[in-house]
Amino acid sequence: MVSKHLCPDLLAAELQKLYHRCEIHITHLKPGQIELTMAEIEGDLGNFEPRMLQNNQVFEF
């Protein structure tokens, strides 16, 4: 894995190691393949509800 990015199935495998459910935010999607990649991620992540980050999105804690 040269790019150090997780493909949808590797992301799913890593998330299975968690003991608690958490929010999943997806970033750095390949242009032109955003819809396809998000569909794969949503299909692979089972109980998680991944959300794609939007430009200028702000999180307040």
Are the C-beta atoms of residues 48 and 16 closer than 8 Å to each other? Answer: no
Which amino acid belongs to residue 41? Answer: I
Walk along the chain (61 residues) and give the pLDDT tens digit of each residue. Answer: 466 778 888 888 998 898 888 889 998 888 999 999 999 999 988 788 899 998 898 989 8
User: How far is residue 16's CA from residue 33's CA, in Å, rounded to a whole number?
Assistant: 25
Q: What is the pTM of this model?
A: 0.76
User: How far is residue 23's CA from residue 16's CA, in Å, rounded to a whole number?
Assistant: 14
For residue 20, what pLDDT is reported?
Answer: 86
Paired with 25 in beta bridges are 51
**Rg for the chain, CA atoms, rounded:** 12
